[in-house]
Amino acid sequence: MTASIKLVVMALGLAFVGEAMAAALTVISFGGAGKSAQDKAYYGPFQRATGIKVIGAEYNGEMAKIKAMVDTKSVSWDVVEVEPAALARGCDEGLFEKLDYGKIGKPADFLAGAVQSCGIGMNVWSIVLAYNADKLKAAPAGWKDFWDVKTFPGKRGLRKGAQDNLEFALMADGVAPKEVYKVLATPTGVDRAFRKLDQLRPNIQWWEAGSQPPQFLVSGDVVMSSAYNGRISEARKEGKNLKMVWNGSVYNYDYWAIPKGSPRKDDALKFIRFATQPVNQKVYADTIDYGITHRKAIQMLDAKMSRDLPTSPRNLAVALSEDTAFWVDRSEELEQRFNAWVAKSK
CATH code of the domain containing 98: 3.40.190.10
pLDDT of 333 strictly over 80: yes
What is the three-class DSSP state of 140?
coil
In percent, the amount of the chain with pLDDT more than 90 equals 82
- Domain co-membership, 228 together with 245: yes
Q: Which amino acid is at 33?
A: A
| 156 and 220 fall within a common domain | yes
Q: Is 169 helix (H, G, I), strand (E, B) or coil?
A: helix
User: With 80 as the cut, is the pLDDT of residue 2 above it?
Assistant: no
Instruction: Reply yes or no on whether the pLDDT at 1 is more than 80.
Output: no
Domain span including residue 328: 125-252+317-344
DSSP assignment of 19-37 equals HHHHH-EEEEE--HHHHHH
Give the confidence band of 346 by pLDDT, cuts at 50, 70, 90. low
State whether 99 and 31 are in the same domain.
yes
Q: Judge if pTM exceeds 0.85.
A: no
DSSP string, 143-165: HHHHT-TTTS-S-EEEESSSTTH
Q: How many domains does the chain have?
A: 2
- Which helix (H) or strand (E) segment holds residue 328: the answer is helix 324-344
The answer on 130 and 230 residing in a single domain is yes
Query: In sequence order, what are the residues at sequence separation of 6 or more whose Cβ sits closer than 8 angstroms to the Cβ of residue 234?
Result: 33, 214, 288, 289
In angstroms, the CA 11 to CA 277 distance is 40
Give the residue among 159, 131, 111, 156 at the shortest CA–CA distance from 295: 111
* Alpha-carbon span 275 to 292, nearest angstrom: 11
Same domain? For 233 and 327 the reply is yes
Residue range 226-259, pLDDT digits in tens: 999 989 988 998 999 999 999 999 999 999 999 9
What pLDDT, on the 0 to 100 scale, is given for residue 18? 39
Regarding whether 204 and 278 lie in a shared domain, the answer is no
Residue 103, pLDDT above cutoff 60: yes
Lowest mean pLDDT among 51-60, 100-109, 311-320: 311-320
Tens of pLDDT, residue by residue over 71-98, are: 999 999 999 999 999 999 999 999 999 9
Q: Band the pLDDT of 145: cuts 50, 70, 90.
A: very high
Claim to verify: residue 98 and residue 117 sit in the same structural domain: yes
